Amino acid sequence: MPMKAAADAVHVVAAALGGVKYLLTLNCRHIANANELPRIYELLEREGFGQLLICTPAEFLGAHEHDDESNT
């Protein structure tokens, strides 16, 4: 993450250190971002915190899956 996103990095680290399994966030700029997530997951795995799943609340609830099912 860029230096200007240090607070976002602290958010992820605090969740990982706290043993959180799911980090739900609306921050798609620096956290739940397809370009950032692979790097975040790689770092978490390397440091022994590979169990953390980061996603938006809609992704967590499966909103995208339910939207597709209601159209059938």
Contact 1, 8 (CB under 8 A): yes
> What would the mean pLDDT of 21-25 be, rounded to a whole number?
95
Dihedral-angle region of residue 26 (phi above 0 means left; psi in -120 to 50 means alpha; beta otherwise): alpha
| pLDDT for 63 beyond 90 | no
| pLDDT for 46 beyond 90 | yes
Taking the CA atoms of 53, 55, 58 and 62 in sequence, report the sign of the dihedral they define: negative
**Phi then psi dihedrals of residue 5, to 5 deg:** -105, 25
pLDDT at 7: 92
Residue ranges per structural domain of the chain: 3-70
